[in-house]
Structure 1
Amino acid sequence: MKRWCGLSVFLCVLWSHLCDRGVQGEGCRTQHSGCCVLCHPGYFLNKKCGLCRPCPSNGYMDHPSAEPDCKRCEKCEGIFEYRSNCSPTKNALCKCIAGKKCADEKCSQCEDNSCPAGTQLNGEDCVNCPSGTFNPGWEGSCRPWKNCSEINAVIYVNGTMTSDVVCLPKPTQTPPTSPAVATTTPQDLPSYNQSVIIVVVSVVCVIIAFIAVFWCLSKRLERIKNTFVKIKHTEQEDACSCHYPEEEHGGEEETLSSEP
């Protein structure tokens, strides 16, 4: 008999609890006189004896409240996209689409996201280019350095985070010369030796030209001198020959005057 009495009491308490939950709703946090006065997060309070109802799919409630409606979920569209979706207890979080970044802490606006040279965009932040890559500043992401060995060249200037590697073609290899006979071409000489040789050759050429001109002038002067001497000698001979007829004429007069 006692067992049946205890079971009856238990069933009555359980029934009363179920009735209270049916009236108050499963989201009730605080009740008063059999009616809920405060709901858990994710629920709103219906004023009909304080019945807590869950928020709809486009609404949320992130704290205990007695509000008659849930808050409306944020929509991420246009230049925004979802960082996290809306839930009954948490609003949706938005972020800017690729190539743009949030202009304020709440990300209510977006602005162009351009990273400086030597960096690239990682999410909404600019980070340095990884080792072996570069970004001159007008490209969206870092690119790998040029591989000089692939184009049969050697590194002339090392790459940086802002500039690519500069390659230099490998010098052409000449066939090895015989150790017994080794010839040296002007290209093999150092540049300063070539300059000295050019200067020496130029000086020798000038000296030879000067000697040739001097020799020609001396010969010319000698010819002129010889010509002048011949002319003078001829004049002297002509002057002497002019007196011979006078002497002969004088002789004839003397002969005529001596006749009887």
Structure 2
Amino acid sequence: MGAAAPLLLLALALSPGRAAAAPCATICPAGRFKYLKVCSPISDAECTCKEGYRCSDNSCSRCDRSCGLGKERTGNGCQACRDGTFNDQPDGSCKNWTVCSENQVLEPGTATKDVVCKPSSDNPTLATTLPTTSPAIPFPVAVPVQTTPEQSIQEETCSCRFPEEEQGEDQDCGKSTEFRDLLEN
């Protein structure tokens, strides 16, 4: 907003019909501030800081210079990120670099950028261990299983008797010939 902005806000504040609950009391100071929301007939204006600055509190009553990338705000102003940390946000805090497996660093970290690790598919240790895990059997083996007709009949007779409590009899599946004789004929 230009130099006429305070006059426009004052005119809105004094206009008849304006809701008394939301007066145009907020005027953003020139310099480091800018309007986040201008005053309207139903709400007050809201201020924020211009680019390169940040609000010092929740009400944005003061704007402090942003620390920028590779630095973080401390009690004494801005401080550069220590070695092994980075900050990739204008007003963020320094975070630890990602830890890669041994010899897996693709790009080293800086104060403004995290370490980039090689993808796991580029892992030479994995590539050399896979072929040697089972040299005797390099492919799956299928083993055929045959059953005799007697085994099939015995399994069928046993499965039709389960559970025994409902049968009322106590017979051993191996001794049951009654059903086997019926199925063979």
- Answer whether TM exceeds 0.5 for this pair: no
Q: TM-score, normalised by structure 1?
A: 0.24
Q: TM-score, normalised by structure 2?
A: 0.33
Structure number with greater CO (CA < 8 Å, separation at least 6) is 2
Q: Which has the larger radius of gyration?
A: 1
Q: Which has the higher helix share?
A: 1
